[in-house]
Structure 1
Amino acid sequence: MRLPSWLAQHLAAFRAVLVFTALLGLAYPLAMVAVGQLPGLNSRAEGSLVRTADGHPVGSRLIGQLFTDADGNAVPRYFQSRPSAAGDGYDPTSTSASNLGPESVVDTLAANPDDASPSLLTQVCERSRAIGELEGVSGARPYCTSDGIGAVLSVFYRDGLTGPVTRAVSINQLCPATPFVTTYQGVTVECAEIGRDYSHGIVTPVRGTAPSEPAVPADAVTASGSGLDPNISPAYARLQAPRVARERGTDVATVRALVEKYTTDRALGFMGEPAVNVLELNLALDRQFPGNS
């Protein structure tokens, strides 16, 4: 008996669904799992987990983590990771960047701290100042105030965009703060007041006297695009080495040798930059100095 054409077409489509489900929904995934168990690939297929000597997983080579105490303060005996904008820090379920760019220099000020929002510039300034204090170096950066805020003025001109300056406001410093500069082109600089509109002024970042190459590297004060970067630059690792050596009761040369050991070169010799895996480096420190872990 010949089936109606519409029924034959539906049966053919159903058979195709079954075949492709078996091939792509079962056979292919199982084949990929099997390939992932081959020697040299199995550790990567399982998330590149890093384990202690007793087999306890402590993290992944591919995902960064925080080395802080319960209050969020850096644990001095460990190398610190770069900042993260993923959730509360390195959260794989909230991987993201801050979505703030170079033009983010003006803070959102509010009486309630929960309603305030720092610009990218102020975030960088705050981090640089804090790291400078932690590592015992200058945290000064161009366009940052000495107290870790974006050094930005809203400058008002007589003719709008031209003419003499008639007013200057340090728009990231909430009153009664003392502005980071006293005057600008002969006009006394004011602190910012909540609720005042300064949008008619020209946003003017002030470079200041900080060196063009700050002591605190860029990756120490900026988050990666994913917020999960497990690595830091060799420069940031070298900056932290004296503190870690002091806390571990050893010499700086020993710690720097470990930094060199866990520094990977550019991929294929030309892609990216040299990097230091923070988790692996800290585990190596714990193994070499178990009494301090």
Structure 2
Amino acid sequence: MRLPSWISQHVAALRAVIVFTIVLGLAYPLVMVAVGKLPGLDSRANGSMITVADNKVGSKLIGQLFTDKDGNPIPKYFQSRPSAAGDGYDPTSTSASNLGPESIVDTLSKNPDDASQSLLTQVCTRSLDIGKLEGVSGARPFCAPDGTGAVLGVFRSGGFTGPITRVVAVNETGTPFLDTYQGVKVEPAQNDVDYQAEGAVMTPIRGDAPAKPAVPADAVTASGSGLDPDISPQYADLQAPRIARERGLTLDQVHQLIKAHTDGRTLGFMGEPGVNVLELNIALDQGQK
């Protein structure tokens, strides 16, 4: 007996669903699980966890903070790069700050909930703090000495052209980082005032900081995921004198550890070399036992 065409079509569709369910829903996942259990791959399949004395201390794929309960860096440990994921390296809140190069003006307000720092001020503040921690200059272009973004709101008589009539240090409510700009006295900013909306032209001031700051870029900027476990060899080298001093090691010993935990470019040409901070700090602790 020949089935009606509509029934034949439904039977064929049901067969396809059953076959693909078995192949893709059962067989394929089981094969992948089996591959993940192969020697050399099993640890990666389980999150690349690092175990020390039978205790899992973290994953080599996710960074973590090495700070005390008040958020201050612990001097004897290498420090990771900043993180915008939750309170720092929170895998459940992975994200970036969503601030870009044009974020140069802080939101100043008497209400702390309404106030926020621009990316420029965040970078300047971090660079200043790291400079103090490592005993180097934290100065960098377009940063004021107090760690805020060095940005002026310049008012002109013709809007974008004409003589300057007023200048405001838009990120500073205290003493401005410049006394005058092109002969016009610089005013401190006022809270809850949008100077750009009032017609000021935002003008970053480079200052006299070196073109290549002592504090590298990855030390003051968060990664896109907020979970990057690596720092650059340059940032690791910057921290080496502090680690040697705190641990009672020679600088050469610390540099050898950094080199041993530096991964090269992927496939030899993709990306940049990176130093895994967790693995490096574990090596330091184990070397001191």
Q: TM-score, normalised by structure 2?
A: 0.96
Counterpart of 1:185 (choices 182, 185, 208) is 182
- Paired-residue identity, %: 69
- Report whether the alignment pairs 1:161 with 2:175: no
| Partners of 2:64 and 2:80 within 8 A in 1 | yes
Q: Could you tell which deviates more after superposition, 20-29 or 90-99?
A: 90-99
Counterpart of 1:198 (choices 172, 195, 200) is 195
Return the alpha-carbon distance in structure 2 between the equivalents of residues 122 and 219 of structure 1. Answer: 15
Matched residue of 2:155: which SS?
Answer: strand
* Correspondence list, 1:107-186, <5 A: 107-174=106-173, 177-186=174-183
Return the alpha-carbon distance in structure 1 between the equivalents of residues 118 and 231 of structure 2. Answer: 23
Matched residue of 2:172: which SS?
Answer: strand
Return the alpha-carbon distance in structure 1 between the equivalents of residues 92 and 28 of structure 2. Answer: 26
Matched residue of 1:150: which SS?
Answer: coil
Q: Which residue of 1 aligns with 2:252?
A: 253
Q: Which residue of 2 aligns with 1:272?
A: 271
* CA separation of 1:71 and 1:159: change in aligned 2, threshold 3 A: same
- Cα deviation 1:204-251 (Å, max 9, x = unaligned): 000111111111000000011111111001110011111111111222
Return the alpha-carbon distance in structure 1 between the equivalents of residues 28 and 160 of structure 2. Answer: 64
- Cα deviation 1:100-136 (Å, max 9, x = unaligned): 1111101111112222111110010010011111111
| Partners of 2:167 and 2:187 within 8 A in 1 | yes
Return the alpha-carbon distance in structure 1 between the equivalents of residues 265 and 5 of structure 2. Answer: 61
- Cα deviation 1:149-202 (Å, max 9, x = unaligned): 00000001121111221100000112xx00000000000000111233412011
Q: What is the total number of aligned residue pairs between the two structures? A: 287
* CA separation of 1:70 and 1:195: change in aligned 2, threshold 3 A: closer
Return the alpha-carbon distance in structure 1 between the equivalents of residues 93 and 158 of structure 2. Answer: 47
Matched residue of 1:114: which SS?
Answer: coil
| Partners of 2:66 and 2:77 within 8 A in 1 | yes
Quote how far apart the aligned CAs of 1:10 are.
2.5
Return the alpha-carbon distance in structure 2 between the equivalents of residues 7 and 173 of structure 1. Answer: 76
- Report whether the alignment pairs 1:59 with 2:61: no
Any stretches of 5+ residues in structure 2 without a counterpart?
none
Return the alpha-carbon distance in structure 1 between the equivalents of residues 193 and 257 of structure 2. Answer: 53
Matched residue of 1:77: which SS?
Answer: coil
Matched residue of 2:185: which SS?
Answer: strand
Matched residue of 1:224: which SS?
Answer: coil
After superposition, the CA RMSD in angstroms is 1.3
Matched residue of 2:113: which SS?
Answer: helix
Q: Which residue of 2 aligns with 1:72?
A: 71
Quote how far apart the aligned CAs of 1:15 are.
2.5
Q: Which residue of 1 aligns with 2:25?
A: 25
Amino acid at match of 1:76: P
Quote how far apart the aligned CAs of 1:3 are.
4.1
